[in-house]
Amino acid sequence: MILPVRRWLLVEKVLDDYESVEGDLLVDRSAAHAVRESVYGDDLRPLPDDRVATVELSGAECQLVADSLAHRAAAADTESHDHGIGVSGSEIWDLLRVLDAQLTRR
């Protein structure tokens, strides 16, 4: 999937804040690792926000990303604060739509 680094950093934050319903820790860790591997440079700093990065995710990892974004967006829609994520539910829903459109084209 292809997104600007700033959006992948949001995915990373949401994944760090989410535990999958099935509790598959290997999928949780592999999805977060795939994102980090693509958006951080050799100096362990994120690449520029506007740079486009491609992250290869398995089907299970894509599902985890979608589930975690939907969970976080729904929670943000009903909460008066963001629990450190720093974005609105509408921004997260928008990101989920972008990712869903890419998955539909696969």
Domain residue ranges of the chain, discontinuous segments joined by +: 2-105
Of the pLDDT bands very low, low, confident and very high (cuts 50, 70, 90), residue 23 is: low
pLDDT at 29: 82
More confident call, 28 vs 96: 96
pLDDT of residue 11: 93
CA atoms within 13 A on the CB side of 91: 12
* Distance separating alpha carbons of residues 42 and 98, to the nearest angstrom: 28
The CA distance from 36 to 15, in Å, is 11
- Amino acid sitting at position 23: G
CB 61 within 8 A of CB 7: no
pTM for the structure as a whole: 0.85
Residue 82 has pLDDT above 60, yes or no: no
What does each C-alpha distance from 2 to 7, 61, 79, 92 come to in angstroms? 10, 15, 30, 16
Q: What is the pLDDT of residue 6?
A: 94
Q: How confident is the model at residue 104 (pLDDT cuts 50, 70, 90)?
A: confident
- CA torsion angle 105 103 35 22 (round to 10): -160
